[in-house]
Amino acid sequence: MKLKKSYYNFISLISLLLIFFFSFLIYKFFLKSDPTIINFYNNELSSDFEMEITNNLENLDNFFENFTFINNYLVNRKNYEIDINIQIKEPFAKNLINEEIIFTDNTLANFKFFTPSFINSIDLVDISNNSIQINNYLRQSLLEISNLFKVSQIEYVDGRRYNLYLVNGQIIMLPKKITKDLLVFIKQNYEILKNNTNFQEYLDLRNFHEKTIRAK
């Protein structure tokens, strides 16, 4: 009788252990499983790059160090989902030759990281052989230049100055130093110059600071 009771106790203990074991498995792999739904709240990044991000969720800080076009990001985990909100820097132009986007802080990034719709939304085209560098003169006068001209293309020349290609086909050759005096001169005289028959192809302002202006 004692033996039989011991046997039942043993069976009960084993049963109890099995219940605990399977309960643990259910908790670990079902109730406490990692989120499986990843939501990206932006429409600029390509699906391939989003997949790379998904594969590096546990170490995003180090991962994003290699992608300097990302300004900041926010990750929110809730239940079985992960929400990722990524803010990228402000784009300046796109270079179709090198398939790169140039951001206003001179960061460069390959087209492959972005969606076609985002690339197409960038109107200004950089036609430089090497992607443009935005110097301090251009950076400080970007807003005024965009208000003065309808620029479709920009070219970085000799590593020091810029040519602006307007939507009407005319070219504005800027000097190295884009100063307030230059911008005021253009603002006051551009309409006159535009209606001048001598200004059909280009306006050469390269020697503006030496009081020399050419037009053709």
Q: 17-59 pLDDT, tens per residue?
A: 556 655 555 545 544 455 568 888 888 999 999 999 989 988 8
Mean pLDDT to the nearest integer, 158-185:
89
Q: Residue 31: what pLDDT?
A: 45
Q: Residue 136: what pLDDT?
A: 84
What pTM, to 2 d.p., does this model score?
A: 0.77
Mean pLDDT to the nearest integer, 131-142:
85
Q: Residue 44: what pLDDT?
A: 92
Question: Which has the higher per-residue pLDDT, 199 or 129?
Answer: 129
Give CA–CA dist 214/211, Å, rounded: 10
Contact 145, 154 (CB under 8 A): no
For residue 202 the two structure tokens come to 């280009």
Three-state SS at 173 = strand
Mean pLDDT to the nearest integer, 69-90:
90
Mean pLDDT to the nearest integer, 167-189:
88
Question: Which has the higher per-residue pLDDT, 60 or 110?
Answer: 110
Q: Residue 185: what pLDDT?
A: 86
Phi-psi region of 196 (alpha: psi -120 to 50; beta: other; left: phi over 0): beta
Q: Residue 41: what pLDDT?
A: 86
Q: Residue 103: what pLDDT?
A: 95
Q: Residue 124: what pLDDT?
A: 94
Nearest to 136 by CA among 165, 93, 103, 106: 106
